[in-house]
Every structure is written in C-alpha cells, then in structure tokens.
Amino acid sequence: MISGIPIMDIAAFAAFMAMWIGYTLVAEHRSLLGRSLSAVMVRHRRAWMRAMCDRENRVADTALVGSLMRSVAFFASASILVLGGLVALMGSGDRAFAVYSEMPFASNGGLETFEMKVLLLAVVFVYAFFQFTWCLRQFNYCCILIGAAPPPEAEDRVKDVFATHASRLQSLAANSFNRGLRAYYFALAMMLWFVHAWVFVAAAALVLSVLYRREFRSKSLGTLADILAAR
C-alpha cells in the first residue's frame, strides 16, 4: 500500500494514462502525415469551404455548422450532468461506499481507494467538458468566418487562402471534439476500475483497439478516401 492506495490500482491507472496519452499522440501525429480519418476530413473541409466561396447563398453552410455545434453542446451538457452525479457521490462519502461494498463485483479497496477512483473519474469529465466548450468556441469562430467569406466574384487566390485557413479552424474544433469524445470512451473503461484493477486495464486496451480501428482501419476511412481520389 502507498498512502492507503493499493499498488495494483496505481499501476493500473498508470497503464491507463499511458494508453490514453500514447494513443492521442500517435493519432494526432499520423493525422499530420495524412494517414487517418481526421486527416481525410481535413481535405473534405477544405473542399467544403472552397465550394462555399463560389455560392451566393450561404445559409446551408451556417446551418451545417450549427448542426455540428448542437451535437457538441449535447456532450458538454452531458458532462456537467455526469459531474453533478459524481460530486454528489463524493459528498455522500461513507454511505456511498457502504452501498458499493455490498455489491457482488466490488473490489477489495477501502474508502480512500473508492474516493480516489470517483475523484479521478470526475477529473476525466472535467477534461471532457473543457474540450467540448473550447470546440464550441472554435465553431463560433467558424460561423464568423463564414459571414466574412470572400464573395463569389473575388479572385481565386483569395478564395483559396480563405478556404485553407477556414478549414484549418474547423479541423482544430474537430480535434477538440475528438479529444472530448475520446475522454468519454476511456471513462467507460474507467468505470470497470470499481470491479478490479486488471479488468480496468483490459477495458482500456479494448477501447484503444476500437478507437484505432475506427480511425485508421475503418470502412468510413476507405469510403472518404475514395471520394477524394475520384475528384
């Protein structure tokens, strides 16, 4: 035991963080190399912004950004609700632990371990909330850029420069959304920490494999890449 926390739980959490941070670094690095779903979407966003510059009516474009913002706002609101539940759980203290101890899947850790797990789970959702709200702000900036987009009669050079920077801002917003959503996935794995430390690690590894397949080996990636190749 270290300060009342089992060594096995500390090791499991360290492995969990290594998987999460390691995957994030690898995914974002490969996106820069153009070998992921995120990288393909960067090119689709640029095509969208460039096509928008040739349109007189841009209501549909603002509606599309608004739709994206609503989905992000849903997750931001859900994060607050989850945090409220976790704070209430931490506030109940001994009573919550007594109920948890009676469950058949409860691990052998004491009250201090239980409170640490709840606290760290809350930290994950705080991180997710900040990512989602930052994503919302960036999409707000995208709306402003759409309003300031060059008119259809502007030079192609001006439109190309605008499309490049506007799509880059959209991609930054999408990256923030991806980080927040990734936090949700890993939080689901983290819930199994209340069962057993190694079940928690196994669940995190499963989440990692699902995320990797969707980002680098999915049919969606192949379809989106084929569309770009056909242009």
pLDDT, one tens digit per residue, over 38-62 is 999 999 999 999 999 999 999 999 9
pLDDT at residue 107 greater than cutoff 80:
no
Q: Give the mean pLDDT of the chain.
A: 91
Query: What is the pLDDT, as a whole number, of residue 96?
Result: 80
pLDDT of residue 92: 81
Q: What is the dihedral of CA 11, 13, 15, 19, to 10 degrees?
A: 180
- Rg of the chain over Cα atoms, rounded to whole angstroms, equals 22
Q: What is the pLDDT of residue 1?
A: 44
Confidence band (pLDDT; 50, 70, 90) for 2? low
Share of the chain above pLDDT 90, in %: 74
Q: What are the E-state strand segments in 67-129? A: none
pLDDT exceeds cutoff 90 at 171: yes
Does residue 4 have a pLDDT over 70?
no
pLDDT mean over 80-86: 94
Is the distance from CB of 53 to CB of 149 less than 8 angstroms?
Answer: yes
Residue 103, token pair as written in the block: 């469950």
The residues, any chain, with a CB within 8 Å of residue 7's CB and separated by 6 or more, are 1
Q: Bigger pLDDT: 95 or 127?
A: 127
Domain boundaries, the chain: 7-230
Task: Give CA–CA dist 231/226, Å, rounded.
Answer: 9
Please tell me what DSSP assigns to residue 153. T
